[in-house]
Amino acid sequence: MTAEGEPRLFVNRWGDTSDPAHASGGPRRADGCSCFDQSRPHPRARVGFHAERQDTSAPGWQRLLELVEEAAADGREEFRPLTELSPEHRRQIITLPPSIAKLTAVRHLVLYGSNLVRLPPEIGAMTGLEEFTPYTSYRLHWFPYEITRCRKLSRSTVSTRALFGNHKLRPPFPRLQPSPGAGTDIDLRDLDPRRWGTTAVDECGVCAHPVPPGGLHQVWLSRRVATDVLPLLVNACSQRCVAELPEGAEGHLPAPHRGGRVDRSASD
> Does 181 score more than 70 pLDDT?
yes
pLDDT for the residue 188:
94
pTM of the model: 0.87
pLDDT for the residue 2:
41
Q: What's the pLDDT tens digit per position in 5-22?
A: 444 433 334 444 444 334
Residue 147: half-sphere exposure toward Cβ, Cα within 13 Å: 27
pLDDT for the residue 267:
41
Q: What's the pLDDT tens digit per position in 89-147?
A: 999 999 999 999 999 999 999 999 999 999 999 999 999 999 999 999 999 999 999 99
Domain ranges of the chain: 30-267
Q: Which of 6-15, 40-49, 173-182 is predicted with the least confidence, judged by mean pLDDT?
A: 6-15
**What percent of the chain is modeled with pLDDT above 70?**
84
**Longest pairwise C-alpha distance within the chain:** 75
pLDDT for the residue 175:
96
Q: What's the pLDDT tens digit per position in 65-96?
A: 999 999 999 999 999 999 999 999 999 999 99
d(CA 114, CA 31): 9
pLDDT for the residue 183:
61
> Does 185 score more than 50 pLDDT?
yes
Q: What is the mean pLDDT of the chain?
A: 88
Average pLDDT, integer, range 162-181:
92
pLDDT for the residue 43:
62
Question: Radius of gyration of the chain from Cα atoms?
Answer: 19
> Does 184 score more than 90 pLDDT?
no
> Does 42 score more than 80 pLDDT?
no
